[in-house]
Amino acid sequence: MEEKDRISELPAGILDNIMRFMPILDAAIVEILSSIWKDIWFSLTKLCFDSDFFDYLCLKYSDEALEFHISGVVNNIFMRHNGRIHKVIFNFCGDILDFANDDIANLLKNNLNQWLLLLTQNGVNEMDISCPENSGYLVSNCFFSCPTLKRLKLSEVRVELVDVYELPNVISLYLEYVDFLCGDYSDYVVYLPMLEDLSFCYSRNIFDFHILAPKLGSLKTIPSCSCSVLKLGINPLLGLP
C-alpha cells in the first residue's frame, strides 16, 4: 500500500512556519519528498535571504558568474511566488563563501533596489536589510511611500533625503550605521504618524533633520542623546530619561 503524504496534508499556516525555519538545502530535499512542497515554497509569506542561503548558492555555482546565478535564483523566487510576502530579510553580512566584497557590492547595486520595488508593490509588512560594512549601498526610496510597511530595519546603508519623507504606517524603525545624505541644509522632515518604537545606533547625520513622530512611545539611542538634539516632534506626555 502506498504511504500517505501526511506532510502535504498539514494546514498551509503550519507548512509556512516549517519551511521558513528550515535551511534552504533541507527545504530543497523535503520538496522532492512531498508532492506539494514546491507550491508551498513559492507561497511562503516570510522569506529569508541570509548567509546560509548565499553559501548554498556559492557551493552550487562555483564559477565566475556567481552574481548572475544568485540574482537569477532570487528573481525566479519572486517571479514564481504566489500571494503576499509579509516579511523579507536580506542579510548580506558575514563571511559568504567565494563571494568577495566587490561581488556583494555589485549584487546590491544591480539587483537589490529592483527587489525592494517589487516587494513594496506586493504589500510587504516588514523588511530587514543588512549590508556589509562600507558597502556604499544607496537604498531605494520606494519604501518611503509603501502604505503596507509596518516594520523597517536598515543596517550599513546610505539614504539620500529629500525635502519630506513619509512612512505612513510604520510602527517600528531600527537604524544601525545608516548614513543619511542630507545635502547642504537641514530642512528635511521625516514624518512617521504611526511610529511607536524608534531605535538607532551610530547613524551619521541623523541630527541634521527633523523626525515627526507624534505617537512615539519608545526611543533607544546609541550613543544616548536628548530628544531635543534629535529634533523629534513627539507626544509631549512621553517620558524620556
Residues 213 and 151 in one domain: no
| pLDDT score recorded for residue 90 | 92
**Final residue before a domain boundary, out of 126, 160, 194:** 160
How do strand 232-234 and strand 46-49 relate by DSSP bridges?
unpaired
Q: Could you give the C-alpha distances from 210 to 52, 186, 187, 227, in angstroms and in order?
A: 38, 8, 7, 11
pLDDT in tens, 219-241: 888 776 555 445 666 544 444 43
**Final residue before a domain boundary, out of 123, 139, 160:** 160
pLDDT in tens, 35-69: 555 566 667 788 888 888 888 777 777 666 777 88
Q: Between vectors from CA 38 to CA 5 and to CA 82, what angle results, nearest 5°?
A: 125
130 contacts 156 by C-beta, under 8 angstroms: yes
* Helix residue ranges per DSSP H, the chain: 12-20, 24-33, 37-41, 51-60, 66-80, 101-107, 113-121, 227-230
**Final residue before a domain boundary, out of 160, 177, 202:** 160
159 contacts 140 by C-beta, under 8 angstroms: no
Q: pTM, whole model, 2 decimals?
A: 0.79
- Higher per-residue confidence, 84 vs 236: 84
Return the closest-CA partner of residue 71 out of 45, 49, 47, 38.
49
Host domain of residue 139:
45-160
- Distance between CA 28 and CA 47 in Å, rounded? 14
Number of domains, the chain: 2
- Does 32 map to a domain? no
- Does 15 map to a domain? no
Residues 175 and 110 in one domain: no
- Does 24 map to a domain? no
- Distance between CA 120 and CA 109 in Å, rounded? 18
